[in-house]
Amino acid sequence: MIFMLENLKKSVCDANLELVKRGVVIYTWGNVSGISEDRKYMVIKPSGVDYDGMTLEDMVVVDVKTGVKVEGKWNPSSDTKTHLELYKKYSSIKGIAHTHSVNAVAFAQAGIKIPALGTTHADYFYGDIPCTRELTQQEVMEDYETNTGKVIIETIENAQYDPMAIPGIVVKNHGPFAWGKNPENAVYNAVVLEKVAEIDLKTIMLNPNAEMKSYILDKHYMRKHGPNAYYGQGK
């Protein structure tokens, strides 16, 4: 188990540093986590610690069931409870990335979904990237981070879609969360989410009535992710 967690800590640390490399975080903004194979432990970035000089020794291990820190010299990210809610609900999620990337946050602050307008979007997200409702005052005051996770789950469940088919969301007034099959994949999806948000903003400026037909969405998503996918060099 110790060896497995060391590998996970390295993976999570590398994924956090990738956020910086890809330009979707600055200073101490954002965080990435990963979950152990037995889903008993989560490794996450520490709270308020700058990315510059960050190593795997800075990563924090949290018990998934209790939310208690079990290893690490720092406090875990303030978004820890949000990550835990998603891991406990969806066994397919094995990595989560949260950023405050500019274009995705613009959609979150506007309270607007990121619509599927083109094939770049369709290659990675099988439909519009939703925006959650805003949290109530009571939800914020009672347990803000847990309820942020719950409102993400509420949005997914109400729309009845596979979270791995649309591996990201924007939380109203807050920002984007993305997830994947591991921490690296979660970061990848977070970066793509930011890019399609940027493309959408420019598209809507040029044509507020822009749209993409569902058969184009289906074709592009399925040729890459469907049962008969043929994109790339095979598996």
What local confidence, expressed as pLDDT, does residue 145 receive? 98
Instruction: Please classify residue 14 by burial: count the beta carbons closer than 10 Å to its beta carbon, then call 0-12 exposed, 13-18 middle and 19+ buried.
Output: middle
Q: Give me the residue spans of the domains in the chain.
A: 2-225
Strand partners, 62: 42, 69
Q: What is the pLDDT of residue 4?
A: 63
Q: What share of the chain has pLDDT > 70, as a percent?
A: 98
Share of the chain above pLDDT 90, in %: 97
3-state DSSP assignment of residue 122: helix
Structure tokens at 79: 């978004």
- The structure's pTM equals 0.96
Q: What is the CATH number of domain 2-225?
A: 3.40.225.10
Kindly tell me if the per-residue pLDDT of 3 is higher than 90. no
Contact 200, 117 (CB under 8 A): yes
pLDDT tens digits for range 60-69? 999 999 999 9
Across 182-199, average pLDDT: 98
Q: Of 111, 160, 102, which Cα lies nearest the Cα of 132? A: 111
Active centre residues (catalytic): 123, 231
Residue with tokens 């058969």: 215
How confident is the model over 74-123, as pLDDT tens digits?
A: 999 999 999 999 999 999 999 999 999 999 999 999 999 999 999 999 99
Q: How far apart are CA 125 and CA 162, in angstroms?
A: 11
- pLDDT higher than 60, residue 139: yes
